[in-house]
């Protein structure tokens, strides 16, 4: 599992990603980690889509937090890539569904990577002080900005993959929030972008 990941990976990392994919396929019928239709295209729809965020990690980041990790996208892919490329990066995965959180812990254990799984609701967490905050398919941008305000360390970056609605979500957010925005085109979906956001504050 090395094609189109936007990052060069060693054989060990490739084997970890393959083990993760095998566990996902095994657990998916019981706990619906990803849509059944996307299983046929796991590599692009989930692995490459997640790995492109790792390429945007600011150098020197120490703590990456992924909110609403579900089956581990992007957070678990980030943790596996970090084990090879950024071994000092701590990765926290927040997932309130206990069965999905158990899956995340199982993959971390079986692949031998470090990831801190928090089986809690985001709203009940103490501030995470993350250098990088990610969330895919979790909430609208105004809600994500509220999470970013609470959980990013000063100077931290949020990376939010968004689909075709991103322009209207940004416009809606500007009523209540100030932030610096860079838009990165998605490498896996021509209609999608990754919103890189810094300096979040309320209007």
Q: Which residues bind ligand SAM (CB under 6 A)?
A: 34, 68-71, 73, 94-97, 100, 121-123, 136-138
Residue 136 counted as an annotated binding residue: yes
> What is the number of other CB atoms lying within 10 angstroms of the CB of residue 17?
23
**Nearest approach, Cβ of 60 to ligand SAM (angstroms)?**
25
> Residue 191: CA atoms inside 13 Å, Cβ hemisphere, count?
3
Nearer to ligand SAM, 24 or 199 (CB): 24
Nearer to ligand SAM, 64 or 73 (CB): 73
Residue 15 counted as an annotated binding residue: no
72 CB-contact burial (10 Å; exposed 0-12 / middle 13-18 / buried 19+):
buried
**Nearest approach, Cβ of 162 to ligand SAM (angstroms)?**
12
Decide the pairing of beta strands 90-94 and 130-134. unpaired
**Nearest approach, Cβ of 7 to ligand SAM (angstroms)?**
19
Nearer to ligand SAM, 62 or 121 (CB): 121
Phi, psi of 170 (to 5 degrees): -65, -45
Binding residues: 68, 73, 122-123, 136
């Amino acid at each position: 599992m090395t094609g189109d990941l936007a990052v060069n990976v060693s054989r060990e990392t490739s084997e970890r990603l393959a083990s993760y994919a095998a566990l996902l396929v095994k657990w998916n019928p019981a706990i619906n980690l990803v849509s059944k239709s996307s299983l046929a295209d796991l590599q692009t729809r989930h692995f490459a889509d997640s790995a492109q965020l790792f390429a945007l990690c600011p150098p020197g980041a120490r703590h990456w937090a992924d909110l609403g990790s579900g089956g581990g996208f992007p957070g678990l892919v980030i943790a596996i890539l970090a084990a090879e490329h950024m071994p000092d990066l701590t990765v926290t995965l927040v997932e309130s569904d206990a069965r999905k959180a158990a899956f995340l812990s199982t993959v971390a254990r079986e692949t031998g990577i470090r990831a801190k799984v928090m089986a809690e609701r985001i709203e009940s967490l103490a501030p995470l002080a993350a250098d990088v905050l990610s969330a895919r398919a979790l909430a609208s941008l105004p809600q994500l900005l509220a999470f970013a305000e609470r959980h990013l360390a000063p100077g931290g970056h949020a990376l939010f993959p968004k689909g075709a609605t991103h322009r209207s979500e940004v416009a809606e957010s500007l009523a209540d929030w100030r932030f610096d925005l860079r838009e990165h085109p998605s490498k896996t979906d021509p209609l999608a972008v990754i919103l890189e956001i810094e300096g979040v504050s309320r209007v």
